[in-house]
């Protein structure tokens, strides 16, 4: 993975000192809250319902064991013994005291981490496929490009005060696991006919109150043009993006109001002027960053298949886990392991300090010191020898992280919602927990098959509900929580925005509604090989409306 150079170390250290001084001046009263708030936000510090919240950047979701142990240390020392992994591959602590945050940032800096640009109207943490560098179906590792974008966008003077926040995602396989089409800029790595690497470029995707699918403005952008083209997009946005209305300030609105063709013309014009500038990436520079992400030397471990055969025969739970929680690795002796942070009835994305330490140990012992955070709020060990899977599973069982539900109905994304978040209108986590308990039985989950439920506690859509196969949006109506359901959303290479199925459901109705939707799917699917999303796309919403609302739906 990327290692800080001297410049990076000095830069982060200076930033920590600066923030320490700002906090001291705030606490002494020298700075007012109005003066301090933008400064704390630039360092990832929010004020939420119960306490401050610190959002720590995990660039493209990649962590070393040492970094994970530091997160565990911070959870134990300054917080309440746990952390929350987010849909942007970051980590949030929900209870830090303001007075402690400079020290937390100083501790983080010792392991090459920080909280810069995890808030504010700037370019946020660049996200990527969590199986990057390991997946068998990968064209190229997206992380070197994400790292180049990270370096370029960190404290970029021209793009530190954009009309609104700006999110970039990069994926490197045909199968898009980074939801690139719902980002401000989505980059899909491809090879052209001559074998050159480049990107299909999407712009203006996003969720929130106005969900939009990104528009393709380039079929193929050669890799050396990554920064010049991205700069061109940002320049057009910075100049023309709306600053008069916060709710219309994202680039998706600019793309929508300008028209894709006109916007693409403007971008191309800027790009022409920048194409041969210093932003053009020399092959040597790309190679230098690539080297940081060189795959670990994976020794041959051909004994894996025999070991797995014996172990699965002896342990049904292990067989379930193998079936659900592995992703095919480039090297047939290895696999990528999904460590589910979605234990039945647990809080999606939460991990205790002890669990973080244990995952760090596993990564060190069996996983070449690499951990990933997925935008689906799970952890990944990207490179594990198949021969070691049983040992990893056994340890995960001990620490309560061996749930065999990756991609199943209980593998639910949920934002923190009204249990923590100052913006939320309704709770998300209890809904996720109740659905998880309802569908706890392994056989039933597997009978249902691949099904993504995503829950947000407000219109800002941190829980990605618009792209859930079943999406749930919590709102407040007449002082009570109400849950609106969308169906048919998807955040992959065939992105779609879910359609609202009908009137919302109360907290005591929503789990039954989800179960009704699932049962309707089971009753109508062609066979077991037709997953929920495919069935919905074939059937449309009618049978689901009928099942949910009965006569009411017919009358409408």
Dist. CA 126–CA 279, nearest whole Å: 18
| Residue in 5, 33, 276, 527 binding other proteins, rule: CB under 8 A | 33
Which CB atom, from 345 or from 449, has the smaller least distance to other proteins? 345
The reply on whether position 29 binds other proteins by CB under 8 A is yes
The reply on whether position 418 binds other proteins by CB under 8 A is yes
By rule CB under 8 A, what count of residues binds other proteins? 30
Please choose, from the candidates 157, 240, 177, the residue with its C-alpha nearest in 3D space to the C-alpha of residue 204.
240
Can you list the positions of beta strands (E) in 304-369? Answer: 326-328, 334-339, 350-352
Q: What x/- string results for residues 311 through 350 when contact with other proteins is judged by CB under 8 A?
A: ------------------------------------x---
Which CB atom, from 222 or from 345, has the smaller least distance to other proteins? 345
- Give 106: exposed, middle or buried? Use CB within 10 Å, 0-12, 13-18, 19+: middle
| Residue in 6, 479, 527, 556 binding other proteins, rule: CB under 8 A | 479
Please choose, from the candidates 234, 10, 230, the residue with its C-alpha nearest in 3D space to the C-alpha of residue 114.
10
Q: Which stretch binds other proteins (CB under 8 A): 131-139, 405-413, 435-443, 479-487?
A: 479-487
Contacts of residue 278, defined as CB under 8 A and 6 or more positions apart, other chains included, come to: none
Which CB atom, from 95 or from 152, has the smaller least distance to other proteins? 95
Q: Which stretch binds other proteins (CB under 8 A): 279-287, 367-375, 423-431, 464-472?
A: 423-431
DSSP secondary-structure letter at 61?
Answer: G
Least CB distance to other proteins at residue 515 (A): 21
Please choose, from the candidates 149, 264, 142, 152, the residue with its C-alpha nearest in 3D space to the C-alpha of residue 197.
142
Torsion (CA) 78, 82, 84, 89 in degrees, nearest 10: 80
Q: Which stretch binds other proteins (CB under 8 A): 181-189, 351-359, 418-426, 518-526?
A: 418-426
| Residue in 420, 483, 536, 544 binding other proteins, rule: CB under 8 A | 420
The reply on whether position 370 binds other proteins by CB under 8 A is no
| Residue in 120, 430, 498, 531 binding other proteins, rule: CB under 8 A | 430
- Give 443: exposed, middle or buried? Use CB within 10 Å, 0-12, 13-18, 19+: exposed
Which CB atom, from 6 or from 508, has the smaller least distance to other proteins? 508
Which CB atom, from 320 or from 481, has the smaller least distance to other proteins? 481
The conformational region for residue 84 under phi > 0 = left, psi -120 to 50 = alpha, else beta, is: beta
Dist. CA 179–CA 171, nearest whole Å: 8
How many angstroms from the chain centroid is the CA of residue 345?
21
**Backbone torsions φ then ψ of 456, nearest 5 degrees:** -120, 145
The reply on whether position 475 binds other proteins by CB under 8 A is no
Dist. CA 167–CA 250, nearest whole Å: 10
Least CB distance to other proteins at residue 77 (A): 15
Q: Write out the DSSP string of 186-214.
A: EEEEEE-TTS-EEEEEEES-B-TTS-BPP
* Antiparallel, parallel or unpaired: β 470-477 and 453-456: parallel
Q: Which stretch binds other proteins (CB under 8 A): 67-75, 227-235, 264-272, 419-427?
A: 419-427
Q: Which helix (H) or strand (E) holds 481?
A: strand 480-487
Q: Which stretch binds other proteins (CB under 8 A): 25-33, 115-123, 185-193, 258-266?
A: 25-33
The reply on whether position 427 binds other proteins by CB under 8 A is yes
Q: Which helix (H) or strand (E) holds 93?
A: strand 91-93
Q: What x/- string results for residues 47 through 76 when contact with other proteins is judged by CB under 8 A?
A: xxxxxx------------------------
- Buried b vs exposed e over 61-79: b needs ≥16 C-beta within 10 Å? bbbbbebbbbbbbbbbebb
Least CB distance to other proteins at residue 84 (A): 11
The reply on whether position 508 binds other proteins by CB under 8 A is no
The reply on whether position 429 binds other proteins by CB under 8 A is yes
The reply on whether position 393 binds other proteins by CB under 8 A is no
| Residue in 10, 14, 27, 306 binding other proteins, rule: CB under 8 A | 27
Dist. CA 217–CA 220, nearest whole Å: 9
| Residue in 14, 21, 24, 99 binding other proteins, rule: CB under 8 A | 99
CB distance 102 to 16 below 8 Å: yes
How many angstroms from the chain centroid is the CA of residue 147?
16
Q: Which stretch binds other proteins (CB under 8 A): 121-129, 241-249, 389-397, 427-435?
A: 427-435
Q: Which stretch binds other proteins (CB under 8 A): 41-49, 235-243, 333-341, 437-445?
A: 41-49
DSSP secondary-structure letter at 122?
Answer: S
Q: Which stretch binds other proteins (CB under 8 A): 89-97, 166-174, 252-260, 514-522?
A: 89-97
Q: Which residues of this chain interact with other proteins, rule CB under 8 A?
A: 26-27, 29, 32-33, 47-52, 80, 95-99, 347, 418-420, 424, 427, 429-430, 433, 476, 479-481
């Amino acid at each position: 993975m990327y290692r800080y150079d001297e410049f990076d170390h000095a830069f982060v250290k200076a930033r920590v000192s600066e923030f320490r001084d700002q906090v001291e001046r705030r606490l002494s009263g020298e700075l007012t809250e109005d003066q301090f708030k933008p400064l704390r936000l630039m360092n990832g510090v929010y004020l939420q319902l119960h306490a401050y919240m610190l959002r720590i950047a995990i660039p493209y979701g990649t962590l070393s064991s040492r970094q994970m142990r530091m997160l565990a240390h911070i959870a134990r020392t300054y917080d309440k013994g746990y952390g929350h992994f987010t849909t942007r591959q970051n980590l949030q602590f929900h209870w830090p005291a303001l007075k402690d945050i400079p020290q937390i940032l100083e501790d983080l800096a010792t392991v090459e981490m920080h909280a810069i640009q995890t808030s504010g109207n700037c370019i946020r943490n660049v996200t990527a496929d969590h199986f990057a560098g390991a997946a068998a179906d990968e064209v190229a590792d997206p992380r070197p490009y994400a790292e180049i974008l990270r370096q370029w966008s960190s404290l970029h003077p021209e793009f530190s005060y954009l009309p609104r926040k700006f999110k970039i995602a990069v994926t490197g396989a045909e199968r898009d696991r980074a939801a690139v089409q719902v980002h401000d800029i989505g980059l899909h790595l491809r090879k052209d006919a001559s074998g050159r690497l480049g990107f299909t470029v999407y712009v203006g995707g996003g969720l929130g109150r106005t969900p939009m699918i990104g528009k393709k403005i380039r079929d193929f952008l050669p890799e050396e043009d990554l920064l010049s083209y991205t700069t061109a997009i940002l320049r057009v946005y910075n100049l023309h993006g709306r600053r008069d209305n916060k709710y219309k300030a994202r680039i998706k609105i600019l793309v929508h109001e300008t028209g894709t063709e006109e916007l693409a013309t403007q971008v191309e014009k800027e790009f022409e002027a920048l194409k041969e500038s210093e932003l053009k990436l020399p092959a040597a520079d790309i190679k230098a960053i690539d080297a940081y992400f060189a795959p670990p030397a994976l020794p041959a471990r051909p004994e894996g298949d025999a070991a797995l055969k014996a172990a699965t025969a002896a342990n049904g739970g292990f067989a379930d886990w193998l079936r659900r929680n592995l992703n095919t690795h480039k090297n047939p002796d290895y696999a990528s392991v999904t460590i589910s942070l979605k234990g039945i009835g647990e809080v999606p994305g939460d991990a205790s300090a002890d669990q973080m330490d244990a995952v760090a140990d596993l990564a060190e012992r069996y996983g070449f010191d690499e951990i990933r955070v997925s935008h689906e709020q799970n952890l990944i060990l990207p490179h594990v020898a198949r021969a070691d899977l049983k040992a990893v599973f056994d340890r995960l069982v001990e620490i309560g992280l061996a749930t065999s539900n990756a991609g199943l109905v209980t593998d639910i994304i949920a934002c923190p919602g009204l249990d923590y978040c100052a913006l939320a209108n309704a709770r998300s986590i209890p809904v996720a927990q109740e659905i998880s308990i309802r569908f706890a039985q392994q056989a039933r989950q597997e009978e249902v098959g691949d099904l993504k439920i995503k829950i947000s506690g407000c219109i800002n859509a941190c829980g990605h509900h618009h792209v859930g196969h079943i999406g749930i949006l919590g709102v407040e109506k007449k002082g009570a929580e109400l849950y609106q359901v969308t169906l048919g959303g998807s955040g992959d290479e065939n992105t779609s925005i879910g359609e609202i199925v009908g009137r919302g459901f109360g907290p005591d109705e929503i789990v039954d509604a989800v179960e009704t939707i699932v049962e309707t799917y089971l009753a109508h699917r062609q066979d077991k090989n037709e997953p929920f999303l495919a069935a919905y796309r074939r059937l449309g919403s009618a049978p689901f409306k009928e099942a949910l609302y009965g006569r009411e739906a017919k009358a409408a």
